[in-house]
């Protein structure tokens, strides 16, 4: 890769990131007006409503991510580079940065997902998976262990 290609790829990546951030902001603004906010009223809705709400939001994000990535892939790069480098930039920015940019602005969707996890999945996961210890220390357990270090008791 020569210097011109390095500069071209770098500028293309930066411009795509800015573009996807703008798309993420626009999607967030639209979602704010289309969907219920995450608040006490949303928490009081039926489980079906909550699951349908986040399912529709996630579906729309996926559709926008796919079609915007598809359309951008078909467009010529801002700065001409080899096709393989352009495809690499498109794939990286579309695959990673777009999702980051979208969820950067979708706080309510993130909060809704966390709430549903804590409310419906978390209690079952606590029964199935050990809650205490660390895999790094190889001391995972279902009950707290009393650890004594330098005269200090940990549980």
Write out the DSSP string of 68-101: HHHHHHHSPPSS---HHHHHHHHHHIIIIIHHHH
Residue spans of the domains in the chain: they are: 3-130
pLDDT tens figures, 119-140 = 999 888 888 888 888 888 788 8
User: Quick one: three-class SS letters along 96-134?
Assistant: HHHHHHHHHHCHHHHHHHHHHHHHHHHHHHHHHCCCECC
Strands 152-154 and 147-149: antiparallel
Residues 38-59 pLDDT 10s:
999 999 999 999 999 999 999 9
Is the pTM of the predicted complex or chain greater than 0.75?
A: no
């Amino acid at each position: 890769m020569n210097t011109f290609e390095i500069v071209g790829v770098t500028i293309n990546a930066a411009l795509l990131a800015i573009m996807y951030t703008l798309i993420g902001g626009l999607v967030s603004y639209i979602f704010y007006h289309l969907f219920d906010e995450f608040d006490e009223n949303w928490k009081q809705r039926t489980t079906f409503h909550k699951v349908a709400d986040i399912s529709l939001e996630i579906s729309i994000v996926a559709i926008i991510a796919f079609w915007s990535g598809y359309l951008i892939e078909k467009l010529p790069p801002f700065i001409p580079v080899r096709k393989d480098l352009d495809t690499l930039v498109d794939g990286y920015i579309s695959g990673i940065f777009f999702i980051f940019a979208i969820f950067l602005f979708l706080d309510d969707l993130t909060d809704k997902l966390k709430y549903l996890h804590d409310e419906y999945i978390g209690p079952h996961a606590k029964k199935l998976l050990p809650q205490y210890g660390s895999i790094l220390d190889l001391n995972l357990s279902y009950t707290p262990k009393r650890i004594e270090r330098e005269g200090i008791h940990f549980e």
